[in-house]
């Protein structure tokens, strides 16, 4: 197995790997300009141990919405505030948002959690807290609109998923410059 050392990255011994790379370049402006009057769909999805890189807006929106709902980092009021904030940021750019419905359920001990009708998840989604803290400060009451736009629409922003359960060693294949932020989770 290859060993890589990265500064400021938390690593554990679980096998799944998700890295979120967000470019702060202005390349997203051209994408937004071509999307005027379009609806961005925030759907549920399944993101686990696959070896993939996702850079399209639709999948990045799905990853974000799946994480917001299934991480259980937010209660219903906070999720609704996040939806409103996303709609506000997109609306300022002539775009609208559609969100797949979710439901609030209760464990036998009375604790509540949110989920989708269809089984959806991000492996170890509760570890997304650093990324969500940056994008949705104050427990979702606020939003960093630039982060949202860079993440969703910049073609240089991507999600890399992988695992170390086989001999398939694959790391992000893109060269990333100085204008990126990486939220890495080795779980």
What confidence score (pLDDT) does residue 178 get? 58
In a domain, 24, yes or no: yes
In a domain, 126, yes or no: yes
Contact assessment for residue 85 and residue 142, using Cβ atoms and an 8 Å cutoff:
yes
Closest CA to 23 of 174, 185, 158, 162: 158
Write the pLDDT tens digit of every residue in 94-103: 999 999 999 9
**Cβ–Cβ contacts within 10 Å for residue 136, how many?**
24
Q: What's the domain range around 91?
A: 16-186
In a domain, 104, yes or no: yes
Q: Are strands 52-54 and 16-23 parallel, antiparallel or unpaired?
A: unpaired
In a domain, 137, yes or no: yes
The dihedrals phi and psi of 79, each to the nearest 5 degrees, come to -60, -45
Strands in 92-177 per DSSP E: 96-99, 103-106, 112-115, 121-122, 158-163
- Look up tokens 């060993």; give the residue: 3
Distance of alpha carbon 137 from alpha carbon 139, whole angstroms: 6
How many structural domains comprise the chain?
1
What confidence score (pLDDT) does residue 6 get? 47
- Res. 51: pLDDT tops 90: no
Write the pLDDT tens digit of every residue in 5-48: 444 444 444 567 788 888 889 999 999 998 877 999 999 999 98
In a domain, 153, yes or no: yes
- Measured between its terminal Cα atoms, the distance across the chain in Å is 16
The whole-angstrom distance between residue 115's C-alpha and the CA centroid of its chain comes to 16
What confidence score (pLDDT) does residue 168 get? 53
In a domain, 7, yes or no: no
Q: What's the pTM?
A: 0.83
Distance of alpha carbon 178 from alpha carbon 9, whole angstroms: 17
In a domain, 1, yes or no: no
Query: Helices 145-153 and 76-91 meet at what angle, rounded to 10?
Result: 70
In a domain, 10, yes or no: no
């Amino acid at each position: 197995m290859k060993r890589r050392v990265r500064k400021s990255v938390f690593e554990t011994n679980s096998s799944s790997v998700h890295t979120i790379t967000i470019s702060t370049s202005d390349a997203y402006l051209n994408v937004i300009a071509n999307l005027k009057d379009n609806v961005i769909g925030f759907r549920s999805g399944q993101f686990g141990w696959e070896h993939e890189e996702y850079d399209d807006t639709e999948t990045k929106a799905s990853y974000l919405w799946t994480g917001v709902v299934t991480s259980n980092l937010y209660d219903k009021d906070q999720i609704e505030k996040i939806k409103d904030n996303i709609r506000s940021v997109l609306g300022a750019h002539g775009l609208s948002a559609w969100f797949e419905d979710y439901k609030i359920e209760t464990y036998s001990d009375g604790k509540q959690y949110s989920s989708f009708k269809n089984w959806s998840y991000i492996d170890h989604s509760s570890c997304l807290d650093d990324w969500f803290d940056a994008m949705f400060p104050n427990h979702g009451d606020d939003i960093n609109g630039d982060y949202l736009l860079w993440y969703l629409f910049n073609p240089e922003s991507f999600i890399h998923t992988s695992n170390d359960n086989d001999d398939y060693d694959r790391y992000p294949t893109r060269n990333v410059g100085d204008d990126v932020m990486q939220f890495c989770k080795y779980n």
